[in-house]
Amino acid sequence: MSPRQDTDTHATPVGLSKPVGSAAASAGTTATVCVSGELDLDTAARIAPRLVRSLHDAGRVLALDLGGLRFCDSSGVNLFLRLDRLSRAEGKQLRLQHIPAQPARVLRLLGVHHRLACDFAA
C-alpha cells in the first residue's frame, strides 16, 4: 500500500499574521492576530496550537481579524468556540473582527454570533 498523496491542490491554506505595529500583548491590552485563507478541518487543526498560544500570551483580549478569511466551515467555528471557552476560563475575551460575507453567513446560521463577540464587515 502506497503512502497517501495529498491531491487537493485547489485549497488555499489558512494564514496567520500579526498586523504591522503589533507586539506581544501586555496585561490590559488587546492582541490581534489576522486569519486569512480557508479555515476547514485540515487548516483549523494546524493553526489551533498557535491561536491557543496567542490567547495565553494576550492581555485581556484576543482579537481575530478575519478580514482575509474567504471560507470557514464547522471546523473553523468549532475552533472559535474552543478559543472562547479557553479565553473565558482565563478571564479573557475573544473577539472576531472584520468578518467577511461567507464566514458571517456560517456564524449567523449556527447562531454563534449570539455567543461570541462578532464584528461583521458589512
**What CA–CA distances, in Å, run from 87 to 17, 54, 72?**
20, 11, 21
Query: Which pLDDT score is estimated for 116?
Result: 97
Tens-place pLDDT, residues 43-93: 999 999 999 999 999 999 999 999 999 999 999 999 999 999 999 999 999
Query: Which pLDDT score is estimated for 112?
Result: 96
Q: Give 118's pLDDT tier (boundaries 50, 70, 90).
A: very high
DSSP of 35-90, one letter per residue? EEEEESHHHHHHHHHHHHHHHHHSSSEEEEEEEEEEEE-HHHHHHHHHHHHHHHHT
Query: Which pLDDT score is estimated for 121?
Result: 87
Query: Which pLDDT score is estimated for 15?
Result: 67
Q: Give 17's pLDDT tier (boundaries 50, 70, 90).
A: low
Distance CA 20, CA 102 (A): 26
Query: Which pLDDT score is estimated for 6?
Result: 33
Domains of the chain by residue range: 15-120
Fold for 15-120, please state it.
Answer: Transcription Regulator spoIIAA (3.30.750)
